[in-house]
Copies of this chain bind each other. A is one copy, B any other.
Amino acid sequence: MKSDNITISDIAKALNLSNGTISKALKDHYTISEPVRKKVQEYARQHNYRPNLAAQALRGNKSRSIALLLPSIPNSFFAEVISGIESVIHDRNYHLIIAQSLESFEKEQQNLKQLSWHAIDGLVVSLSTETTDLSPFRELQQKGLPIVFFDRVPDNISTHLVTADNEEGAFQLTSHLIAQGYHKIAHITSPAHTSITRERLSGYYKALQKARIPIEPAFVQHCEHGGKELVEIETAVNNLLALKNKPDAIITASDRITIGCFSILKKKKIRIPGQMALAGFCNFSAPELFEPALTTLHQPAFEMGKTATELLISLIESKKAVTDFKHIRLPVSLQIRQSTAKKK
């Protein structure tokens, strides 16, 4: 776009000062006298001065752009996350560069490479289900790139993490089902290596233990690609249905698995909750319209995006190296509906 913006040297000429003075005055440098500072800032404001981002980037070796790498954009949960990121990024004067991995490690790596060409200042990531090798991320960190992970976060990495309180969420889902009279509760989830899977499993186990319900290993089914293909979910459901000791309820671990599982049960004409109760992690916008209305565990996706971005920006703008990293767990909310009605 033809930029008709004025530049620092325009201001310098107009006020009979030098470029250096203007530059310093604009950023409240301490060596500039109050009247000059005021005059310059006033002039800049009136003439709608905007710093040339390209020049700043070239000079300062930073681009004021943040990259977002996530599994899938058109997914209720991640779309809300993006919205949360958008809510902070403009005010802080950053760009957002979005790339989706589509749950593929290869695509993720390819994206990562492309993003690095953009000379990004920071990276917000939710890992693909396939990702186990974190070395590419570690390498980028070592080159000085701040990274914040959210939702699907790695272990053993030194940086901020933002997740929903997955353990608590699974605990609530499971406890709710138990309270409704279901005692044979299965869990369909993502690959065992991912953080969210482990945390949710842990919550599931804790709830069972608390109710003194023995753990049945066959009740836990993993979708190796997080339910990317429906057939994965179908296999998981079939495995459960083939058990001698069939479960009477299923809790599911992601938008896609929840919706997929629901759909498969309906296709199989299995009554919900009569034959099988169902509840799961889900940020879908209208679960109350389903038949039956679906009990969901809602994650604060918008806040996750917002929080992760704020943390990232704090890392980027921190003068001294940050070593005190936090894992923020945001509260979830259980929304009880028909699909987990009391067992008869």
Q: Is the CB of B57 within 8 A of A1?
A: no
- Is A262 in contact with chain B by the CB < 8 A criterion? yes
Q: Is the CB of A118 within 8 A of B144?
A: no
Within 8 A of B (CB), among A85-121: 86, 90, 95-100, 111, 114, 116-121
* Residues in chain B near residue A53, CB distance under 8 A: 57, 63, 117-119
Q: Is the CB of A111 within 8 A of B90?
A: yes
Name the residue in A1, A55, A79, A121 with the highest tally of chain B Cβ atoms < 10 Å from its Cβ: A1
* Residues in chain B near residue A292, CB distance under 8 A: 291
Of B62, B98, B140, B263, the residue contacting A98 (CB under 8 A) is B98
Of B1, B65, B83, B140, the residue contacting A116 (CB under 8 A) is B1
Q: Is the CB of B120 within 8 A of A1?
A: yes
Contacts A2-B61, A117-B50, A119-B1 given: A97-B100 contact, CB under 8 Å? no
- Is A143 in contact with chain B by the CB < 8 A criterion? yes
Q: Is the CB of A119 within 8 A of B288?
A: no
Contacts A73-B79, A95-B97, A116-B1 given: A291-B290 contact, CB under 8 Å? yes
Interface size on A, residues (CB 8 A): 59
What is the distance, in angstroms, from A64's C-beta to the closest C-beta of chain B?
A: 9
Which residue of chain B is the closest to A122 with respect to CB atoms? B1
- Is A323 in contact with chain B by the CB < 8 A criterion? no
What is the distance, in angstroms, from A190's C-beta to the closest C-beta of chain B?
A: 19
Which residue of chain B is the closest to A95 with respect to CB atoms? B97
- Report the bound CA distance from A54 to B56 in whole Å: 8
Interface of A: prevailing SS: mixed
Contacts A74-B76, A100-B86, A119-B54 given: A143-B1 contact, CB under 8 Å? yes
* Residues in chain B near residue A55, CB distance under 8 A: 54, 58
- Is A259 in contact with chain B by the CB < 8 A criterion? yes
Q: Is the CB of A3 within 8 A of B262?
A: no
- Is A161 in contact with chain B by the CB < 8 A criterion? no
Within 8 A of B (CB), among A120-145: 120-122, 140, 143-145
* Chain A positions near chain B (C-beta within 8 angstroms): 1-5, 50, 52-55, 57-58, 61-63, 65, 72-76, 79-80, 82-83, 86, 90, 95-100, 111, 114, 116-122, 140, 143-145, 259, 262-263, 266, 284-286, 288-292, 302
By Cβ-Cβ distance, the 3 closest A-B pairs, closest first, are A291-B291, A54-B57, A54-B58
Q: List 7 A-B contacts (CB under 8 A).
A: A1-B145, A2-B145, A54-B57, A57-B57, A73-B80, A74-B302, A95-B97
Sample of 17 further A-B pairs with CB below 8 A, known A74-B302, A262-B286, A290-B291: A1-B144, A2-B61, A2-B144, A2-B145, A4-B143, A53-B63, A53-B117, A54-B55, A54-B63, A55-B58, A72-B83, A73-B82, A74-B79, A74-B83, A90-B114, A96-B96, A284-B285
